[in-house]
Structure 1
Amino acid sequence: MVSDSRVSYLEVLEHELGSLGLVARVVRTRSGPAFLRVVNPAAAGLAEDVGCAPAPDTPDHYYWWSWGERMHRVDDPCGAASKLARVLEARPAD
């Protein structure tokens, strides 16, 4: 089943993000696709919802930013986790 593979990809990313100190969990909704909610525990306002789906016109699955832009291929969850950690990094105020 397609949704099962998407959830599996999200769970792998969830594990990678945990090793980087981010809090992540797979959210399954009744009406929409599952997604991964990612939060920086040091700054709870820094959060992102990551989806997983094939790119148009290809069977290859990707992680997707919440605004619908392709983020990273699912065959490199470590790279995707690093990208998310960089985006959700708390920066000191100037």
Structure 2
Amino acid sequence: MTSEGSAAPVAATDADLRLAHLERLADALAGRGLQVRLSAPTERPASLHVINPRATALTENILAENGTDGWWFWWSWAERIAAVDDLQDAADRIARVLAAG
């Protein structure tokens, strides 16, 4: 039973977790000088749009999905980048792919 004024804990949904993972990745990528824009429309899963500001043609949409073996970051062409627990590796790989020259 909960006391008045306090709510019972609510389990995070996949949508909440997806958004949280993408927000963490956005912070890591922004720290590497990339521009990021989080998109969270109600009709489809959230994604992270990443742009190299020195070469704006170099862009990518990153997804976070939960599978049987946990949460992973994914390229838009359905290839895994890294597990969400390996945030630095994911950010390094994305920055490397979007690097100019």
**Percent identity, aligned pairs only?**
39
Which whole-Å CA distance do the structure 1 matches of 2:55 and 2:48 have between them? 18
Q: Provide the residue aligned with 1:24 in structure 2.
A: 36
Detail structure 1 runs of 4+ shifted over 3 Å in the superposition: none
User: 5 Å matches for 1:73-92?
Assistant: 73-91=83-101
How does the TM-score come out when normalised to structure 1?
A: 0.90
Which whole-Å CA distance do the structure 2 matches of 1:77 and 1:59 have between them? 16
Q: Provide the residue aligned with 2:9 in structure 1.
A: none
SS of the residue aligned with 2:28?
helix
Structure number with greater CO (CA < 8 Å, separation at least 6) is: 1
RMSD: 0.9
Q: Provide the residue aligned with 1:9 in structure 2.
A: 21
Which whole-Å CA distance do the structure 2 matches of 1:63 and 1:45 have between them? 21
For structure 1, the residue ranges without an aligned partner over 5 or more in a row are none
Larger Rg: 2
Number of corresponding residues = 89
How does the TM-score come out when normalised to structure 2?
A: 0.84
Which whole-Å CA distance do the structure 2 matches of 1:70 and 1:59 have between them? 12
